[in-house]
Amino acid sequence: MSTNNSRPSKAERSASAREKAAQMQATQAAAQKRKSLMVKLGVLAAVVVVVALVVVLIVQNNNAKISATGSAPQGGNAAGGILLTSPTTVADTSGIKIDNTNLVLKDDRPTTPEPSELTVGGKGEPVNVTSYIDANCVHCAEFESTYGPQLKQWLADGKITLEYRNVGFLDGGSPSNFSSRGANALACVADQSPAAYLDFATALWGHYDQGELKNAELSDMAVAAGASDSVKSCIDKGTFRPFVEKTTVTAQNEGVGGTPSIFVQGKSVDLASKDFVEAVESAIKANA
């Protein structure tokens, strides 16, 4: 009599175990793949959110509503310059109103700079140095570091007058419009604490390597340079932003394409091919 034994053989059990192990490995691999994909998607989504927030911040800052009207700071002129007559004084100006209602960037801009209202010292008078400069410009920081002490000495000796035309050319690459905010801070100091202007300018460009500053940091830097506490409100409110916008657009419309752009006695100085100190000393000698 034969017996029907339904118990799987050893070989069958081994095959079944291998099959289950393979299925388990496949299930785990699929789960790991899904997990990895979800992590990657999560990271990607986070990056997209961060980029979107940065873009929104840039757009919001760059489209911030600036009043079309305002006033020029003490020492300011209609072309947007701030004229220093000594290391601690600015020109005696007042009552200059800024109206940017019809201010637009022109299409037919000159290919070479044609700045308006450049000061030219007469015979026996100090020669004029005018500098188009941007608070967020590395070459401007280098220029100020190299020539700042000499400019201050010429001013102290009564050999030059120095006009800063602080522009916001580099706002497009800044998430906080630092070029224009820095220019506004300089105008605030010129208006309310002119004796501190040069020291504040030195500190501002000396900070370039550390990156952009918030308004509160600009205020602290200005006060540390000798400005009164009253500049804090001016800096925070952007009081002279219309003046800065006027300076910037006027400079562009007059063909000033980069910073620093330097003019001595109304003539452009090519810093790449001519020694700046020599150019100024020659003008001083010719004007004596």
Q: What pLDDT does 251 receive?
A: 97
SS3 84: strand
DSSP 4: -
Bridge-based pairing state of the strands 160-167 and 261-264: unpaired
In whole angstroms, give the CA distance from residue 21 to residue 114.
82
Q: What pLDDT does 247 receive?
A: 97
Q: What pLDDT does 273 receive?
A: 85
Q: What pLDDT does 29 receive?
A: 75
Distances (CA, A) of 20 to 13, 14, 25, 55, 130: 11, 10, 9, 52, 84
Q: What pLDDT does 120 receive?
A: 95
Q: What pLDDT does 2 receive?
A: 47
Q: Give the domain ranges of the chain.
A: 9-63, 69-287
The correct answer on CATH 3.40.50.720 for the domain covering 69-287 is no
pLDDT (tens, 9 = 90+) of the chain, 288 residues, equals: 444 555 667 676 666 767 777 777 777 777 777 777 666 666 555 544 444 444 334 444 444 578 999 999 999 998 999 999 999 999 998 889 999 999 999 999 999 999 999 999 999 999 999 999 999 999 999 999 999 999 999 999 999 999 999 999 999 999 999 999 999 999 999 999 999 999 999 999 999 999 999 999 999 999 999 999 999 999 999 999 999 999 999 999 999 999 999 999 999 999 988 899 999 999 999 999
Q: What pLDDT does 6 receive?
A: 59
Q: What pLDDT does 61 receive?
A: 46
